Amino acid sequence: METYDYVIVGAGTAGCVLANRLSENGKHSVLLLEAGPKDRYHWIHIPVGYAKTMFNEKYNWCFYTEPDPEMHNRRIYWPRGKVLGGSSSINGLIYVRGQPLDYDLWAQEGNRGWGWDDVLPYFRKLEGNERGESEFHGGDGPLKCSDIHERHELMEAIIRAGNELGVKTTDDFNGPDQAGVGYYQLFTHNGFRCSTAVGYLKPARDRANLRVETGAMAKRIVFDGKKATSIEYVQNGETKVAHVGREVVLSAGALHSPMLLERSGVGQSELLRSMGIEMVHELKAVGENMQDHLQFRLQFRCKKPITSNDKLNSFWGRMGIGAQYILRRTGPMAVGINHAGMFTQVLEESAGPDIQFHFSALTASLAAGKPDKFPGFTFSVCQLRPTSRGSVHISSPAYDGKPIIHPRYLTTDLDWRCSLAGVKFARRLADSPALADYKEANHQPGPEVESDEQIVEWMRDAGATIFHPSCTTRMGSDDNSVVDERLRVHGLANVRVADCGIMPNLVSGNTNAPVVMIGEKASDMILEDAAL
C-alpha cells in the first residue's frame, strides 16, 4: 500500500486540471487514476478524428440509456471519454462557457463563490485564446482555443439567414452577450486538438510528486467510519490499494462519480442494501437530478456540391482534404464537424437565449456516422435549460458494471414547448431567402412532416443526446444535493467531487469549458483548505 496526499479518480476533463494544479507547488504527492489508456491514438489529436472515436470502445465507454418513454422507448447512445483527457479528448472541440445568468443562479441557490463574477477569473485563467487577453478572455492559459479562419460559403449563408430572422451576427459567444449567430471558437492549437491531457497533464507528467496510472479502474473508496482512508482500484486484473493522506477527489464524470460513491456505500440505502453493499452514509441525491441537452438534427439536401458529403464521397476530395491538413494544418480536418452556431430565444418567458444551434456542412444518419451520398447540411438544435430530471445508478456492486441511465427527456411541458419551438425555428431558418440558393429539400424530417403533431412524433423518433450529462452529484445545501459549495461530499470527510456532476443546473451550452473551470476552482479550494 502506498500513500498519497491526493488521489484523483478520473483523468478526464477536470481530472487532468486537478493533477496539474495539486502537484504544481511540489508540496503534495498526487496519484491520478484513469480507467482508459493513454491518448496516443493519432485520431484523438486531429480535430476531425471526433468521428473515429465516437464508437471506438477502446477510448469510449459507449453507454446506452434505458428505454426512454418520451422517446418511443428507444435506448439512446451515450458516448463518454475513456482515455487520458476523458471527453475533452473525443468531443466536438467547441468553446462555449454558458451565460452569466447560469452561474448567478448557482450562487442564488446558496452556492457562495460560484456567481459569474466569481468564476470569470477562472475562465480567463484556463484560456489561451489566440486573440489574446481581454476583459473576458485569457491569452496565456493552458487550454488553447482558436478561431475558424476559413469562411465557408454555406456557413456565410446560414449567418445571413439568422440575420433575416432577427439574430445578430457575433464573433464571440463567450463575450458579454451570448446571443447571436457566427463561427465557433475551438479548443485547437496549430491544427491539433487541445484536450486537458495536452494542455494540463502533459506539462506536469515529469513531476516527481505526480504519478499517473492508466488502465486503472476505481473499485471503491474505503472508509474508517465516515472518513475516507484509501481507495481500491483494479489494474491488469489485480486489485491494488492506495492510502489517502488528505483527500480523494472524484473527477470521473457525471456517470462514474455517483456510481463510485454507491459502490462505496454512499447513496440511497434501499438501493445499496438490495445489492448487498454495506452502508457508510445515506445521501438520497447521489445519481439523481441528472440533466442533459437533447438535440434534434434537422437535415437538408443542398443544391450545390459544396458540402463535406461531396468531398468525403470523392477519392480526390478526400485526397485534397488530407493534403490541405498535412501541408497547412487547415481545412475540414482542422475544424471537426461543426463550423458555426447560434444562440437565440424562442419562448417569450425565457430570460435570454433558450436554444442553441450547431451548423454542419454534412449529413449522416448518426452523429459522426458515414456521410450521405448527396450534398447536405445539418442544423442541430437543443433547448439550453431543460427542466426534466433523470438519474444514473449502479446495476450491480461490480466495479465494471454498466450504469442504469434514465434520462427522462421531455417530461415537462416547458421542455416540450421550447424544443418544439426550436425545431420550428430551425425550419424557418432553412426556408429563409438567404438559403434559397442552397436548400433543395427537407431530408430529415421530410416534407411530409408538417403539423405540430407530426413534428412531435419525429422528435420522439429522432431526439438524441448532445453529450452533456450533468448534475448527478449536485452542489447545494439542501437534501437534494450531494456536495457543498466547496465540493465536499455532505456527511463525509476527505472526499470531494470535481466534475460536471456538481453543477446545480446545466449550463447554457457545451460543457467542456465549464468543467475545466470547475477543475481550476476546485484546485484552489483544495489547496486553500490544505493550508489551514
Query: Does residue 397 carry a pLDDT above 80?
Result: yes
The phi, psi pair for 383, rounded to 5°, reads -75, 135
Distance CA 467, CA 193 (A): 18
Cα–Cα distance measured from residue 353 to residue 241, given in angstroms and rounded to the nearest whole number: 48
**Mean pLDDT lowest for which of 209-223, 257-271, 310-324, 471-485?**
310-324
CA 280 vs CA 9, 232, 251, 486: distances in Å? 19, 16, 20, 21
Residue 35 and residue 393: Cα distance in Å, rounded? 19
Mean pLDDT of 77-90: 97
Question: Are 369 and 390 spatial neighbours (Cβ–Cβ below 8 Å)?
Answer: no
Single-letter amino acid, residue 90 = I
pLDDT (mean) for 36-40: 97
Query: What digits encode the pLDDT tens for the residues 127-136?
Result: 999 999 999 9
- Do 4 and 29 touch, CB atoms closer than 8 A? yes
Q: Return the pLDDT at 314.
A: 87
Check pLDDT > 80 for residue 367.
no
- Which amino acid type is present at position 117? D
Residues involved in catalysis: 468
- Rounded to whole angstroms, the Cα distance separating 372 from 524 reads 48
- The residue written with cell numbers 486573440 in the block is 131
Burial readout 203-221 (b: 16 or more C-beta within 10 A, e: otherwise): ebeeeebbbbebebbbbbb
Q: Write the pLDDT tens digit of every residue in 217-241.
A: 999 999 999 999 999 999 999 999 9
Per-residue pLDDT of 279-316, as tens digits, reads: 999 999 999 999 999 999 999 999 999 999 999 888 88
More confident residue, 317 or 382: 382
| Contact (Cβ atoms closer than 8 angstroms) between residue 436 and residue 263 | no
Res 1: pLDDT = 65
212 is in an annotated binding site: no
Q: Which architecture, in CATH terms, is 149-183+294-383+410-462?
A: 2-Layer Sandwich (3.30)
Q: How many other β-carbons are positioned within 10 Å of the β-carbon of residue 438?
A: 21
Q: Which pLDDT does position 369 carry in this prediction? A: 77
Quick check: 353 pLDDT over 90? yes
User: What pLDDT, on the 0 to 100 scale, is given for residue 317?
Assistant: 86
- Kindly state the cell numbers that stand for 317: 476530395
R_g over Cα of the chain? 22
Structure confidence at residue 35 as a pLDDT band (50, 70, 90): very high
CA distances 144 to 191, 388, 513, Å, are: 11, 34, 11
Where are any strands of DSSP class E within 151-257?
Answer: 180-183, 188-189, 192-193, 210-213, 216-224, 227-235, 238-250
This prediction's pTM? 0.97
**Mean pLDDT score of the chain:** 96
